[in-house]
Amino acid sequence: MSQISRPMQIALGATLLLLVVWFVALRPGPAETGEPAAPVAQEAPAAPGTEGLNRAIDKANDAVATANGDAAPAGAGDAEPTRRAGNAHDARVSRAQRADHVRHARRLAHAASRQVGQVRAALRAHKALAIAFVDPLIADARSVEEELRHVSTFDGKAFTISVPLARLSQYGFITRGVSVTVAPTVVVVAPNRKAATIVGAADRGEIEQRLADALLKRR
Query: Is a pLDDT exceeding 70 seen at residue 186?
Result: yes
In a domain, 96, yes or no: no
Concatenated DSSP letters of 132-174: EEE-TTSHHHHHHHHHHHT---TTTTEEEEEEEGGGGGGGHHH
In a domain, 170, yes or no: yes
Highest mean pLDDT pick, 87-101, 109-123, 193-207: 193-207
Q: Are residues 192 and 135 in the same domain?
A: yes
Q: How far is the CA of 118 from the CAs of 75, 123, 183, 192, in angstroms?
A: 66, 9, 21, 17
| Segment 24-44, tens digit of pLDDT | 655 555 544 445 444 444 444
Query: From the CB of residue 58, how many other CB atoms can be counted at a distance below 10 Å?
Result: 10
Q: How many domains is the chain built from?
A: 2
**What's the mean pLDDT when you consider all of the chain?**
79
In a domain, 162, yes or no: yes
Q: Which region among 60-69, 90-99, 136-145 has the lowest average model confidence (pLDDT)?
A: 60-69
Give the HSE-up count for residue 46: Cα atoms under 13 Å, Cβ half-sphere.
Answer: 8
Q: How many residues does the chain have?
A: 219
CATH number for the domain including 116? 3.40.30.10
pTM comes to 0.55
Local confidence band at 75 (pLDDT 50, 70, 90 cut-offs): low
In a domain, 204, yes or no: yes
Q: How far is the CA of 155 from the CAs of 25, 149, 216, in angstroms?
A: 119, 15, 15
Q: Are residues 58 and 122 in the same domain?
A: no
Higher pLDDT, 96 or 175: 175
Highest mean pLDDT pick, 24-33, 70-79, 200-209: 200-209
In a domain, 44, yes or no: no
In a domain, 208, yes or no: yes
Query: Is a pLDDT exceeding 60 seen at residue 104?
Result: yes
In a domain, 42, yes or no: no
What domain range is 16 assigned to?
A: 1-24+49-73
Q: Are residues 202 and 123 in the same domain?
A: yes
